[in-house]
Amino acid sequence: MRVTQFQTNFSVGELDPLLRARTDLQQYQNALEEATNVLVQPQGGIRRRDGLEFIYNFDASFTDFKLVPFEFSVADSYMLVFVVGRIYVFKDGELQANINGTGNPYIAAASITAAMLDELEYTQAVDTLILCHEDLQTKRLVRNTDTSWTLENLPLSNIPQYAYAFDTHQPNFDITPSATEGNVTITASSVTTDTGTAQAGGSDTITLKSSSSFTSDDDPNGMFITLTSGTGSGQTRHVEDYVASTKVLTVYPAWDTQPDNTTAYKVEAYAPSAVGEYLQVVSTFGRARYIEFVSATVMKAVVEVPFFDTNAVVAGDWESEHGYEDVWSNTRGWPRSATFHEGRLYFGGSKSRPNTIWGSRVIDYFNFDPGTGLDDESVEATINTNQLNNIVNVVAGADMRIFSTGGEFVVIQSEDTPITPNNFLIRPQTRLGSKPGVPIEDLNGASVFVQRQGKSLNAMQYGSGTASYQIQQISVLSSHLIKNPIDLAARRTTSTDEADTLFVVNGDDGSMSVYSILVGQNVIAPSSFTTDGDFIAVAVEIADVYVIVKRTISGIVNYMLEKFNSSITLDSATLRTNITPGAPANSINMDHLREIGHGDGKTVSIVRDGVVDPDQVVPQNAATITFVSPATSDFQVGLNYTVQAKTMPTEPVLASGSVQGLKKRIVQVDAILNETKDLTINGKQISFRNFGENVLDSAVQPFTGVKTAHGILGYSATGQITIGQTVPLSMTVLGLEYKLSVGS
């Protein structure tokens, strides 16, 4: 029995082997069992993937990389390559030299270590790139010119406070609020103070003068001591404890410089470091946060719980809450992630506060002053659920989106309502969790992320029908291609011949899983990219896709920056298209594909004026590849890669039922092609040359139409068609019609 089948498109891409028996699925008919080094086009065809143009060789000096795109203007965009202690700047594929007049081709970044690169996060606004890692004091990288860049600590002010060592005291003086609510002043009275020269000091103690005015153990507790001269001068600390009999006063935190018997001091009710602390009335009502130091007896405060009245609150009826520290510091760690959203800079998570998010004042991006809680002042919220939610990344979309190890959260906003301190509420949406270190990419309003264990690729997007955020599992039909992802980038379509593309770098085998996505048509078509080596990192600069590739040459590891180029059909390739008429090119140096003193280099393929020359080995000495004949218009030299697309096991729809158990033979294949120069079908070479004089010395002309393969021998249990190539030339297959013989 013979039947004719027609696979009109390959718009499902490579299908998970676990779906091998699901011939009932509509997707089965448009899928491939294998799609290696091909890209699915939005119209449904497959083509040979773009080759990789060689840009720069980092050799073995560095092993950890982070690619960060930086778009300064329409005319000026860059690919930044972060390595240990350095940032390399590439513009239009060219390394910028003599950065900041140092003579070096990189920005010095001594504080960036190898351990930081995997989870280094960033966000950009205009000429400033903000860099975040929990062990790195938050940096900003400012572009001045192509070769002038400033890397410095982000000038944060009014850093949020948190009571890491929460403690309370009942200071031995009275306080009087100027009003019961709102912005008030707090005035201390009946205060006993002390000044003098210390008798001695310890790491967190100071022995006051022998005639100290403090005669009771409780007298100075909760007050502030400032060292006014002598050893340790300028330090202010909170009084934690006092022993009147010995005059020993204990402070918090410990001294930076330990005082001694030359140190002069003063102990007063208030000091500037009281800002951020709280007072709590315990006898009636009232709670306020100190926001400004006025004098040793007067503080400005914002009321959080109204006072009962404006009468004096006597000592013993109120307490001070202290132990507050900057939430970001070398001691407590730094923000993990950042984004700009509706006029604020947001930080998501930190080393010591992993589930908290902070937003700056409006249009005052580095100022986190909470003030009195006005609409334009800073905001703060903490995710508290029944599981661990360490924030991995924050993303600005229609709403603020927060990705954590435990789930996905959103700060829901109506269309005309901005975020304010009063409505900054974090709501849970889904509970997949995100993998640290893998970027979150925006694609047509959806936030694409990798699941916490690296098992799936997902998109979170608002669903108007449910009025909530939902998860679409992008990799649900291709989970076998997700192999411990370590990097992710999205390239948005620039023409009707392209789809939106997601590039996922797999840590397990160094491959890339590449998804062609056409949202309007519900098309998600994956394929696998491989090369002679391992993909390490990926990033997209506007429309250019850059990768770091680990290549081993004569036993020596090299790390190369390369860029996908639609004019190239080879990897790690050198391309030249502007050969001067009358001055042909006879050779090319391929130094990056050899290792001096370690034997010959890589075997390279050569395409010269559209003609494929025999492969050559890069010699270890001169590293020069000499062409068979001079190139007069263009050439490319690089590493070939395997192209293979294999159809699913055939399952024709017959009245007699399934043919799974029957032998099958492909009798004839009619391949519908576009601009194709080389193709094999089930190992059978398809001819693209016509007979004629000197035909082998001329370029193969691209063919559009139908090519037929006859005489395909052999029965099999599956009746599949395998598309491949023998030489690195263009190939686009739009569909396959084939005659299938089915026998018992």
Q: Do 628 and 603 fall within a single domain?
A: yes
Same-domain pairing of 189 and 260: yes
Q: What is the pTM of this model?
A: 0.90
Q: Are residues 583 and 687 in the same domain?
A: no
Q: Which residues contact 361 (CB under 8 A, 6 or more apart)?
A: 344, 367, 368, 369, 371, 376, 377, 378
Average pLDDT for 628-657: 90
Of 57-61, 176-180, 448-452, the poorest mean pLDDT is in: 57-61
Residues 691-742: tens digit of each pLDDT:
555 555 688 899 999 999 988 878 888 889 999 999 999 999 999 998 988 8
Q: Cis peptide before 253, with omega less than 30 degrees from 0?
A: yes
Q: Is residue 588 domain-shared with residue 652, that is, in the same domain? A: no
**Residue 465 pLDDT > 90:** no
Return the structure tokens found at 204.
Answer: 């967190």
Nearby residues of 101 by Cβ (< 8 Å), 6 or more positions away = none
700: domain range?
2-49+648-743
**E-strand stretches of 332-440:** 335-341, 344-350, 356-359, 379-382, 391-396, 400-404, 408-411, 427-430
pLDDT in tens, 404-445: 999 999 998 877 789 999 999 999 999 999 999 999 999 988
What whole-number percentage of the chain has pLDDT above 70? 98
Work out the pLDDT band at 204, boundaries 50, 70, 90.
Answer: very high
Average pLDDT over every residue of 382-389: 89
Tokens 């013993």 belong to 316
Which among 617, 607, 576 is positioned nearest to 678, based on CA atoms? 607
Round to whole Å and give the CA distance between 164 and 162.
6
Is the pLDDT higher at 193 or at 523?
Answer: 193
Give the confidence band of 599 by pLDDT, cuts at 50, 70, 90.
confident
**Alpha-carbon gap, residue 288 to 373, rounded angstroms:** 12
- What pLDDT score was predicted for residue 419? 93
Q: Which residue type occupies 57? A: N
| pLDDT at residue 1 tops 80 | no
Position 249 in a domain: yes
Q: Which of 285, 303, 326 represents a domain boundary (last residue)?
A: 326
Torsion angle, CA of 390/394/397/399, rounded to 10 degrees? 50
Count how many domains the chain has.
Answer: 3
Does 211 fall in a domain? Answer: yes
Q: Which residues pair with 128 in a beta bridge?
A: 125, 142
Instruction: Answer whether residue 626 is part of any domain.
Output: yes
- On the question of pLDDT at 345 being above 60, the answer is yes
What is the reported pLDDT for 676?
97
Alpha carbon separation from 240 to 220, 251, 586, 665 (Å, rounded): 9, 5, 82, 88
| Residues 47-101 pLDDT 10s | 999 999 999 999 788 999 999 999 998 889 999 999 999 999 999 999 999 999 9
Asked whether residue 320 falls in the same domain as residue 195, the answer is yes
Residues 172 and 313 in one domain: yes
- Judged against a pLDDT cut of 70, whether residue 614 lies above it is answered with yes
- Whether 714 is in a domain gets the answer yes
Contact 554, 598 (CB under 8 A): yes
* High-pLDDT (> 90) share of the chain, %: 81
Regarding whether 679 and 620 lie in a shared domain, the answer is no
Regarding whether 172 and 45 lie in a shared domain, the answer is no
Four-CA torsion 167, 168, 173, 174, nearest 10 degrees: 130
3-state secondary structure of 589: strand
Q: Which of 293, 326, 359 is the last residue of a domain?
A: 326
Residues 602 and 677 in one domain: no
Name residues whose C-beta falls within 8 Å of residue 317's C-beta, 6 or more positions apart in sequence: 281, 282, 283, 284
Q: Provide the pLDDT for residue 695.
A: 54
Residue of 523, 528, 502 lying closest to 448 (CA atoms):
502
pLDDT higher than 60, residue 470: yes
Task: State the average pLDDT for the chain.
Answer: 93
Mean pLDDT of 311-337: 94
Q: Which of 588, 606, 639 is where one domain is finished?
A: 639
Do 195 and 249 fall into the same domain? yes
Per-residue pLDDT, 737: 94
- Domain membership of residue 271 (yes or no) is yes
Does residue 547 fall inside a structural domain? no
What is residue 385's predicted lDDT score, i.e. its pLDDT?
86
Say if residue 615 is in the same domain as residue 698.
Answer: no
CA distance 606 to 587: 11
154-166 mean pLDDT = 92
Residue 242 lies in a domain: yes
Query: Within this chain, do residues 170 and 309 fall inside the same structural domain, yes or no?
Result: yes
- List beta partners, residue 500: 517
Domain contains 512: no
